[in-house]
Amino acid sequence: YANGRWYKEDGLGYEALTEVLVSRLLPKTSVRRFVEYQYEALQREDRVVHGCVSKDFMEPGDDKVVSVERLFQAYEGQSAAKAVLAYEEPIDKIRYVVRTVERATGLMDFGRYMREILTVDALFFNEDRHFHNIAVIRRKDGCYRECPVFDNGAALFSDVRGDYPLNMTEEECRNKIRAKPFSRDFDQQLDACELLFPAFPFR
C-alpha cells in the first residue's frame, strides 16, 4: 500500500489480469460496489513484475475493514470457518453467518450482499472466497457499511503454476475447481442463497 493505492503482484499465474477483467465486467451486472483494478508493471527491488493496482476504497469517516473472520472471533469467540462446521447444509451455514454478521454490525441486508458475492464467484469460478475476503467497513461513529466486492484474483483458473497448468483443458479445470466457503459446489451455494434471499435482482 502506498499513496492511497493498493498494489498486488502476480504470484501463481495471471491473477492481476483476472482482477482487471472481472472488474471490467462487473459494471455490466447489477453489483453495486466493487473494487476497480488496473493492470500495471510494478517495480520490485531490482526487477519489474506483472501486477495490478486499485484505489483505496475507504471513505471519509471510515475506520477500518473488518473481515467476517475477525467479526466471528470477536463476537462468537471462534473462527468463522470452524463455526460453520456445526451445520451440515450450505443453507444453514449461510443463514447462520448472515444472522451473526447482522447482529454484530446492525446491517439489515447482509444476505443480499452475500448472494451478490457468491453470484460473482459462481460466474467467474473464484475458488478463494474465504472468510478473510468477505468484509464490512466499520466507521468512526461505530456504524458499519458493506465493503466493495474485492479480491477476485483466484478466479478464471488463474493459478497456472499450481492447480490449473496451461496444458489442462477447460473441462478438466471445471471438474477440479472447488468453491468456498459454504460448500465445495458453486451451484449449491448459490441455490441456498436464492432460497434464503430471493429478492436480489442479479442480471
pLDDT in tens, 73-100: 999 999 999 999 999 999 999 999 999 9
User: Can you tell me the mean pLDDT for 47-76?
Assistant: 95
Q: How many CB atoms lie within 10 A of CB 74?
A: 10
Torsion sign across C-alpha atoms 202, 182, 72, 156: negative
**For residue 111, which of 120, 124, 102 has the smallest C-alpha distance?**
102
Q: Is-contact 102 68, C-beta < 8 A?
A: no
The per-residue pLDDT for 203 is 45
Q: What is the pLDDT of residues 24-38, one digit of tens each?
A: 999 999 898 999 999
* Grid coordinates of 167: 496444458
The per-residue pLDDT for 202 is 47
Global pTM value = 0.90
H/E stretch holding 39 = strand 37-44
SS3 state at 62: strand
Q: How confident is the model at residue 199 (pLDDT cuts 50, 70, 90)?
A: low
Supply angle C-alpha 119, 134, 142, rounded to 5: 130
Q: How confident is the model at residue 3 (pLDDT cuts 50, 70, 90)?
A: confident
Q: What is the pLDDT of residues 139-182, one digit of tens each?
A: 999 999 999 999 999 999 999 999 999 999 999 999 999 999 99
Q: Is-contact 157 22, C-beta < 8 A?
A: no
Long-range contacts of 146-149 (CB under 8 A, 24+ apart): 146/33, 146/107, 146/110, 146/113, 147/33, 147/57, 147/65, 148/33, 148/34, 148/35, 148/57, 149/26, 149/31, 149/33, 149/34, 149/35, 149/116, 149/117, 149/120
Supply angle C-alpha 93, 203, 81, rounded to 5: 20
Q: What is the pLDDT of residues 119-143, one digit of tens each?
A: 999 999 999 999 999 999 999 999 9
Q: How confident is the model at residue 6 (pLDDT cuts 50, 70, 90)?
A: very high
Q: How far apart are CA 161 and CA 154, in angstroms?
A: 12
